[in-house]
Chain A
Amino acid sequence: MAEVISLCDLHRGQTGVIAAIAAGGEMGRRIRDMGLTPGVEVTCLGRAPLNDPLALRVMGFTLALRNREAGYIRVTA
Chain B
Amino acid sequence: MTTPPHSASGPRQAIALAGNPNSGKTTAFNRYTGARQHVGNYPGVTVEKKSGTAHVDGCEVTLMDLPGMYSLSSYSPEETAARQALVTERPGAVIDVVNAGVLERNLYLTVQLREMGVPVVIALNMMDEARAQGLRIDAQRLEELTGIRAVPAVARTGEGLEETLRAALDLAEKTGGRAAPLQISYGPDLDAALNEMTPVVEQAGLFTDTYPARWTALKFLECDEEVLRSAQAAAPEIAARLRRTVDKTTAHLRSTVGVDPEAVAADYRYGWIRSLLRQGVLDVADERKNRIDFSDKVDLVLTHRFAGPLFLLAVLYGMYYLTIEVGDYPLSLVEQGFAWLASTADEMLPAGPLKSLIISGIIAGVGGVLGFVPLIMIMFMLIAILEDSGYMARAAYMMDRIFRIFGLHGASIMPYIIAGGIAGGCAVPGVMATRTLRSPRERLATMLTLPFMVCGAKIPVFLLFVSIFFEKHKALTMFMFTLAGWAVALLAALFMRSTLIRGEASPFVMELPPYRWPTVSGVLIHTWERAWQYIKKAGTIILAISVLIWAAMTYPGLPDDREAFYEAQRSLLEERLAAVAPAGAAEDAKKDDAAGRQDTVPVTPPDKTAGDAKSADGAGVPEDAAERIQEQIAELDNAKSAEALRSSYAGRLGTAMESVTSPAGFDWRVNIALIGGIAAKEVVISTLGTAYALGEVEDDNTSGLEHYIRADKSWTMPKVMAMLLFTLLYSPCFVTLTVIKQESGKWRWLFFSFFFNLGLAYCAAVAANQLLSRF
Contacts and interface: CB of A to CB of B under 8 A. Distances in A.
B482 to A, nearest CB: 23
Nearest to B268: A37
Interface string B301-322: 0011110110000000000000
- 3 closest residue pairs by CB, A with B: A50-B401, A35-B105, A62-B512
A64 B75 CA distance: 19
Interface in A57-77: 58-66, 68-69
Contacts of A68: 505, 507
A52 to B, nearest CB: 5
Interface string A46-58: 1011111101001
A48 to B, nearest CB: 5
B266 A37 contact: yes
B397 A61 contact: no
A35 B266 CA distance: 9
Interface in B386-432: 393, 397-398, 400-402, 404, 410
Contact of B401 (A21, A27, A48, A69): A48
Contacts of A45: 296, 299
Which of A24, A37, A46, A62 counts the most B-chain CB atoms under 10 A from its CB? Answer: A62
Contacts of A11: none
Interface string B277-308: 00000000000100000011001000111101
B309 A21 contact: no
Contacts of B507: 26-27, 30-31, 65-66, 68-69
Given A35-B104, A62-B299, 18 more contacts: A24-B260, A29-B73, A29-B262, A32-B263, A33-B108, A35-B105, A38-B267, A48-B398, A48-B401, A58-B105, A59-B102, A61-B512, A62-B296, A64-B509, A64-B511, A65-B510, A66-B404, A69-B509
Given A49-B308, A49-B309, A31 B509 contact: yes
Given A45-B299, A62-B512, A28 B73 contact: no
Interface size grouping (class) on chain B: 35 or more
B715 interface: no
Nearest to B400: A53
Contacts of B600: none
A63 B105 CA distance: 12
Nearest to B74: A29
A28 B260 contact: yes
Contact of A35 (B270, B393, B410): B270
Contacts of B305: 49
Interface in B569-603: none
A60 B101 CA distance: 7
Nearest to B105: A35
A61 B511 contact: yes
Contact of A66 (B259, B400, B402): B400
A4 interface: no
B71 A33 contact: yes
A18 B475 CA distance: 53
B337 interface: no
Given A65-B507, A66-B508, A21 B70 contact: no
A64 B397 contact: yes
Contacts of A20: 258
A53 B71 contact: no
Contacts of A32: 263, 266
A30 B296 contact: no
A58 B104 CA distance: 10
A49 B508 contact: no
A58 B510 CA distance: 12
A43 B511 CA distance: 14
Contacts of A31: 507, 509
Given A55-B303, A63-B511, A29 B75 contact: yes
Contact of A46 (B266, B303, B400, B514): B303
A34 B508 contact: no
Given A49-B309, A69-B508, A28 B262 contact: yes
Given A48-B398, A53-B400, A59-B105, A64 B510 contact: yes
Contact of A55 (B104, B135, B410, B512): B512
A65 to B, nearest CB: 5
A60 B400 CA distance: 23
Nearest to B225: A26
B511 A59 contact: no
Interface in B95-148: 101-102, 104-105, 108, 133, 135
Contacts of A34: 70, 105, 509, 511
Nearest to A60: B102
Nearest to A50: B401
Contacts of A51: 401
